[in-house]
């Protein structure tokens, strides 16, 4: 009996250890520099200033999203000729997302000296060309274009990388470390693009399955998230400061 209890205890401990190993968002470690910066901020910033900054920080983003959503939409039955406001909204939303991705590499890559103003030279044309391609496909194929977000994910990534290379071409030719940062950025964005492509396909299959099989098929979602978190964990190797926020915000809540 004692042997059985010991075997069960070891088995449970082994299962828990492996489960914790899968929770890769818990594997990040903040650097000494991050803790030093936090200590300096706490020392030099008053409590009331921090209390005001915390709620105001996300306010511009929320206001921008509200303004984009306030743009009226035409009835889709009118066809692509009357879909102008839809593409305006899509282009603005794509610009916001692209600029956030550009800011990610600008702030996370000290080797790539990307000026804040130069980031607009990447995000604006990438957003315009991505949505221009979507408009062209809508006119040639059908409107509304099914799975448009999934279809445009990799063209968007291609446009973004292309303009990043154009803006930072001189640096990339003379700085091998900057090239590694761009390759890393492309891999991380590509892994995140799979989220966008997975859910429309999953939703289509799920809604067309008989009700009996839907609960079983729904189990693929947590499996997919675990796989994706582990892929991102490998891509973020050596960048422990960024692991928790990217893994939690990208792979868990999306």
**Which pLDDT tens digit goes with each residue over 13-50?**
888 777 776 676 666 667 788 788 888 988 898 889 98
- Domain match, 104 and 40 both: no
Same domain? For 41 and 86 the reply is no
Per-residue pLDDT, 67? 92
- The larger pLDDT score, comparing residue 4 to residue 174, is at 174
Instruction: Write down the pLDDT at residue 124.
Output: 95
Is residue 242 domain-resident? Answer: yes
Q: Tell me the average pLDDT across 207-218.
A: 89
pTM, two decimals, is 0.75
Task: Kindly tell me if the per-residue pLDDT of 92 is higher than 90.
Answer: yes
d(CA 223, CA 36): 37
Q: Measured between alpha carbons, how far is 241 from 108 in angstroms, rounded to an integer?
A: 10
Would residue 9 count as lying in a domain?
A: no
Q: Are residues 216 and 186 in the same domain?
A: yes
What is the average pLDDT score of the chain? Answer: 83
Same domain, 147 and 47: no
Mark whether 93 and 189 lie in a shared domain: yes
Do 48 and 133 sit in the same domain of this protein? no
Looking at the fold, whether 44 and 125 belong to one and the same domain comes out as no
Q: Please check whether residues 38 and 116 belong to one and the same domain.
A: no
- Residues 38 and 98 both lie in one domain: no
| Res. 74 pLDDT band, cuts 50 70 90 | confident
Q: Given this model, what pLDDT does residue 123 score?
A: 94
Distance CA 31, CA 23 (A): 20
User: Per the structure, how many domains does the chain have?
Assistant: 2
* 3-class secondary structure, 79: coil
* Residue 157 counted as domain residue: yes
Task: Indicate whether 11 belongs to any domain.
Answer: no
* Residue 14 placed within a domain: no
Residues 129 and 246 placed together within one structural domain of the fold: yes
Residue 134 lies in a domain: yes
In contact, 177 and 159? CB cutoff 8 Å: no
Give a yes or no: residue 6 inside a domain: no
For residue 155, what pLDDT is reported? 92
Give which of 125, 131, 195 is closest to 161, Cα–Cα. 125
pLDDT at 254 over 70: no
Is 248 found in the same domain as 158?
yes
Q: Percent helix, strand and coil across the chain, each rounded to 5?
A: 80, 0, 20
Q: Which domain holds residue 51?
A: 32-59
What pLDDT is stored for residue 237 in this prediction? 76
The pair of three-digit structure tokens given for residue 97, joined into one six-digit string: 């997302």
Where residue 90 falls among pLDDT bands split at 50, 70, 90?
A: very high
Q: Which of 44-48, 123-127, 201-205 has maximum average pLDDT? A: 123-127
Domain for residue 174, yes or no? Answer: yes
Pair (169, 234) in one structural domain: yes
């Amino acid at each position: 009996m004692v042997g059985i209890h010991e075997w069960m205890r070891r088995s449970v401990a082994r299962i828990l250890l492996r489960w914790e190993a899968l929770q890769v968002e818990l594997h990040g470690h903040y650097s000494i520099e991050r803790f030093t910066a936090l200590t300096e901020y706490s020392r030099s910033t008053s409590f009331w200033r921090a209390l005001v900054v915390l709620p105001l920080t996300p306010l511009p983003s929320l206001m921008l999203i509200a303004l984009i959503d306030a743009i009226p939409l035409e009835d889709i039955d009118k066809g692509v000729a009357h879909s102008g406001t839809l593409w305006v909204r899509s282009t603005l939303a794509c610009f916001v997302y692209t600029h956030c991705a550009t800011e990610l590499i600008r702030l996370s890559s000290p080797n790539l000296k990307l000026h804040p103003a130069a980031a607009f030279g990447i995000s604006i044309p990438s957003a315009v060309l991505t949505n221009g391609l979507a408009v062209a496909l809508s006119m040639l194929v059908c409107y509304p274009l099914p799975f448009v977000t999934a279809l445009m994910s990799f063209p968007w990534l291609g446009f973004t990388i292309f303009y990043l290379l154009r803006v930072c071409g001189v640096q990339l030719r003379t700085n091998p470390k900057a090239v590694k940062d761009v390759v890393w950025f492309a891999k991380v964005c590509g892994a995140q693009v799979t989220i966008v492509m997975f859910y429309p396909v999953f939703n289509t299959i799920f809604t067309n399955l008989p009700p009996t099989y839907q609960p079983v098929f729904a189990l693929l979602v947590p499996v997919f998230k675990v796989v994706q978190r582990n892929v991102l964990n490998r891509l973020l190797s050596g960048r422990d400061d960024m692991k928790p926020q990217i893994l939690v915000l990208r792979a868990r809540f999306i």
